[in-house]
Each structure stands twice: as C-alpha cells, then as structure tokens.
C-alpha cells in the first residue's frame, strides 16, 4: 500500500506532535497494538470500489457533485472557511501523491479525525474508559493498492519526514498476520 500524508498549518498528519516518526505509527498498527488502538466497533472498512484516479479526485474537489458536497457538509458542517481549508488540505495530499506517483493512479482518500484524552491517562489499552474530546485536526491519507506487503510512507513535508518503507511480514510474525 502506498500512503501519502498531507498537512496544513497547525495540523500535522502522522501525529507530528506526539510521534515524530510516521513509520513508528505504521509499525504499531502492524503489531498487536492495533486491536487496542482501534476497537473493531470504530474501524470502518475502506472499499476499493471507491478508488478513483488522482486526477478524478482533484476534479471532484474542484467541481464537486452532489454526493461529494453532501459528504463534505456532513463531515465539516456549513462553515465555508473550514470547508475551504479542509478541501485545500485534501487537494495538497492528492497533488503530492500525483506528483510522486502519477495522476492516473487509482487511490482512496481516508481521514481520521483527531481527538485528545482530557484526563491525560492512557488506560484504554487495558479496557479502561477515557474522556475524549475532538479537536480541529485530522489525518488525511491518500493510498493505493499494492500486490505485495510493502508499505511506503510519504509526507508532503518530505524534508522533515523523509519517505520510509517497511514490509509487514518483517514486522509481524506469521502466526499473528491473519488474512
């Protein structure tokens, strides 16, 4: 899977403030921590049927159809300034991916809203309750399908976060890989 992150001022993908290495985040996801970080009820499957060419995504953001306008309004509300900044963020990620890999690649665009734990304790990995609060940051990924188990990570800020890659089979023992 090729993954490309984007950022806007004051908002960093790959949780820059908390973890300087996007590779470390992906390593954690490829490890046993995944069920603790993302309980099954919170995981939403990304359908590859929603994959579109990078150029098609950019066109949709430039001239959104009714479905895209509804989705954007559902996610971000009706504030034009917020919508404009978020659409610019998505455009930046897509343009960077297109520049690196080509505009004709089939990709999905995935977002994960950020949240913080107001109590400051990390007990969720042991089944404890936490008091989360949403904040106005999010992680945006542009990803394409691969035929192997290599994960390639890139960030639009490739000076601070140079490209990295790893193979899932090297990070996760065979008996823990699943399907």
Q: How far apart are CA 53 and CA 50, in angstroms?
A: 10
| CB contact at 8 A, 151 and 1 | yes
Tens of pLDDT along 103-142? 999 999 988 888 888 777 777 777 877 777 888 888 889 9
Instruction: From 27, 3, 8, 28, select the one nearest 163 (Cα to Cα).
Output: 3
Q: Would you state the pLDDT for residue 159?
A: 92
Helices (H), 77-156: 80-101
Tens of pLDDT along 82-91? 999 999 999 9
Tens of pLDDT along 37-65? 344 444 444 555 688 999 999 999 999 88
**Strand ranges across the sheet with 2-5:** 52-53, 106-117, 132-144, 2-5, 150-155, 164-167
Give pTM, 2 decimals. Answer: 0.69
Backbone conformation region of residue 102, classed left if phi is above 0, alpha if psi is from -120 to 50, else beta:
left
Mean pLDDT score across all residues of the chain: 75
More confident residue, 46 or 75: 75
Q: Would you state the pLDDT for residue 50?
A: 80
Structure-token pair, residue 97: 């991916």
């Amino acid at each position: 899977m090729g993954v490309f992150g984007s950022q806007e001022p004051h908002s960093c993908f790959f949780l820059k403030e908390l973890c300087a290495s996007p590779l470390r985040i992906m390593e954690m996801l490829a490890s046993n921590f995944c069920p603790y970080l993302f309980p099954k009820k919170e995981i939403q499957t990304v359908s590859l049927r929603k994959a579109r060419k990078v150029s098609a995504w950019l066109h949709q953001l430039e001239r959104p159809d009714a479905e895209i306008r509804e989705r954007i309004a559902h996610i971000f509300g009706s504030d034009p300034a917020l919508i404009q900044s978020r659409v610019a963020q998505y455009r930046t990620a897509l343009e960077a991916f297109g520049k690196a890999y080509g505009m004709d690649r089939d990709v999905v665009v995935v977002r994960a809203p950020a949240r913080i734990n107001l109590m400051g304790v990390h007990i969720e990995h042991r089944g404890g309750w936490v008091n989360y609060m949403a904040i106005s940051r999010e992680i945006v990924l542009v990803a394409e399908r691969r035929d192997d188990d290599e994960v390639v990570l890139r960030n639009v800020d490739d000076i601070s976060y140079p490209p990295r890659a790893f193979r899932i089979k090297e990070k996760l023992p065979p008996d823990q890989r699943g399907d």
